[in-house]
């Protein structure tokens, strides 16, 4: 982020490429530059003569007053700190510079909406300027997303896709095959089974409002860590895409992610500990890959997880006791791995459990009778392990506790 001198001796608030790469940029900096908002001492003279594109000096107090309850003081202080100006007592013009910084620095664009509201409030009534800023921001945001989609098209062999209707055209992006746009934001890309071939570009990080990415049955290179910057992403589906490499550790930043579905690929390495950061996760499907190493204990943080399907990998070590913290689990499928040790009693805390698949591992000891606490349990499959010869005792105890018949294959 830089302040560059213009020919008239004043400075303009500009946004450089490094800033675009490192923050949740929403096109606001470009919008401000487009409407020629000055942010230096030369602004004071412009304000006094009423020549500013933003506000006359007499409106500054009302403008700031309206924002006071919307943008927290500590946010403004943090923004001011980024300007490197914390030791300077700001006058009205300086405060306005803070607000302009707030426009491009405040998380989630809250500052931008607050400024528009302040411009339109009863004491300020700068409706035309608010409309102008809003329009410029939307135009900038759409242009930036178009650049990202063009990069996506080129990186994934768009000319060879089965369907690429309107891609690269001047039509609204909402008409491009597989793209959904809401309120000026690309929120969904669905290109399942469409002959994509290549790598998801790092520029995808700039689709800040993307909620769903569906790329199943294509040919995708290893997943980029840039996916971890899609903080609104709720669904990532990429089954049968020949994806190699490791699951990026940045995945743990996706606190809104509900479905991580990447089965039947060539993923290697471990399931990263960072997976525990995906606190909204409901569905985890990584079956039929080449994942190895132990299950991370951080899985126990996933309180909303309902489906955990990790079968046919090379996962070893023990089933972590922490898995009992996943109290919403309906299905656990860990079959055909290399798990060892005992099945923990803590699985009895998974009170919503319906199906438990543990067959074809190297588990030992006894199956825990604590599973009787899982009142909805319908199926337990655990053959092909090294359990002690107590299957009949376990089955009898479980059936007696549940007082109903269930499917047991031991």
Q: Where are the domains of the chain?
A: 2-139
Whether the pLDDT of residue 257 is over 80: the answer is yes
Distance CA 163, CA 166 (A): 9
Residue 349 tokens, joined: 């805390």
281, 305 Cβ separation under 8 angstroms? yes
Distance CA 272, CA 111 (A): 35
**Arithmetic mean of pLDDT, 150-154:** 98
Pairing of strands 355-357, 379-381: parallel
Task: Please state which of the ranges 104-113, 126-135, 164-173, 195-204 shows the lowest mean pLDDT.
Answer: 104-113
- What pLDDT score was predicted for residue 38? 31
- What pLDDT score was predicted for residue 58? 54
Distances from the Cα of 342 to the Cαs of 275, 345, 346, in angstroms? 24, 9, 11
Distances from the Cα of 171 to the Cαs of 142, 143, 165, 348, in angstroms? 12, 12, 10, 55
- What pLDDT score was predicted for residue 137? 73
Task: Please state which of the ranges 35-49, 171-185, 214-228, 299-313 shows the lowest mean pLDDT.
Answer: 35-49
291, 266 Cβ separation under 8 angstroms? no
pLDDT band at 39 (very low <50, low <70, confident <90, very high): very low
Computed over its alpha carbons, how large is the radius of gyration of the chain?
Answer: 28
167, 176 Cβ separation under 8 angstroms? yes
Angle between helix axes 110-120 and 92-105 (nearest 10 degrees) is 130
Mean of the per-residue pLDDT values for the chain? 80
**Arithmetic mean of pLDDT, 45-61:** 48
Strand, coil or helix: 246: strand
Question: Of all residues in the chain, what percent carry a pLDDT higher than 90?
Answer: 58
């Amino acid at each position: 982020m830089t302040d560059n001198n213009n020919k008239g001796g004043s400075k303009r608030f500009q946004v450089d490429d490094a800033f675009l790469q490192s923050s949740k940029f929403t096109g606001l900096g470009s919008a401000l530059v487009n409407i020629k908002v000055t942010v230096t001492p030369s602004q004071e003279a412009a304000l006094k003569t009423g020549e500013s594109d933003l506000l006359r000096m007499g409106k500054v107090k009302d403008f700031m007053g309206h924002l006071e309850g919307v943008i927290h003081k500590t946010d403004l202080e943090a923004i001011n700190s980024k300007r490197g100006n914390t030791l300077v007592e700001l006058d009205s013009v300086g405060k306005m510079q803070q607000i302009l910084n707030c426009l491009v620095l405040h998380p989630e664009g809250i500052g931008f909406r607050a400024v528009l509201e302040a411009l339109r409030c009863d004491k300020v009534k700068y409706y035309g300027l608010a409309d102008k800023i809003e329009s410029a921001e939307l135009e900038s945001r759409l242009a930036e997303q178009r650049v990202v989609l063009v990069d996506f098209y080129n990186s994934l062999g768009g000319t060879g896709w089965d369907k690429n209707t309107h891609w690269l055209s001047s039509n609204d992006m909402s008409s491009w095959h597989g793209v959904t746009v809401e309120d000026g934001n690309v929120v969904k890309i669905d290109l399942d089974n469409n002959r994509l071939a290549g790598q998801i570009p790092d520029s995808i990080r700039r689709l800040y409002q993307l909620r769903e990415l569906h790329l199943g049955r294509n040919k995708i290179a290893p997943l980029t860590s840039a996916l971890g910057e899609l903080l609104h992403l709720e669904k990532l589906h990429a089954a049968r895409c020949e994806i190699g490499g490791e699951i990026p550790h940045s995945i743990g930043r996706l606190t809104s992610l509900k479905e991580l579905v990447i089965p039947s690929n060539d993923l290697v390495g471990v399931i990263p500990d960072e997976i525990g950061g995906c606190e909204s996760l409901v569905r985890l499907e990584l079956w039929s890959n080449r994942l190895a190493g132990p299950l991370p204990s951080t899985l126990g943080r996933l309180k909303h997880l309902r489906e955990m399907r990790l079968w046919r990998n090379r996962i070893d070590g023990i089933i972590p006791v922490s898995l009992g913290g996943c109290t919403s689990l309906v299905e656990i499928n860990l079959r055909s791995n290399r798990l060892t040790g005992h099945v923990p009693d803590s699985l009895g805390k998974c009170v919503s459990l319906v199906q438990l698949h543990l067959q074809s591992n190297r588990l030992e000891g006894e199956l825990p009778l604590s599973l009787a606490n899982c009142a909805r349990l319908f199926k337990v499959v655990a053959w092909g392990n090294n359990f002690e010869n107590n299957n009949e005792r376990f089955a009898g105890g479980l059936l007696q506790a549940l007082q109903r018949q269930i499917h047991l294959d031991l």
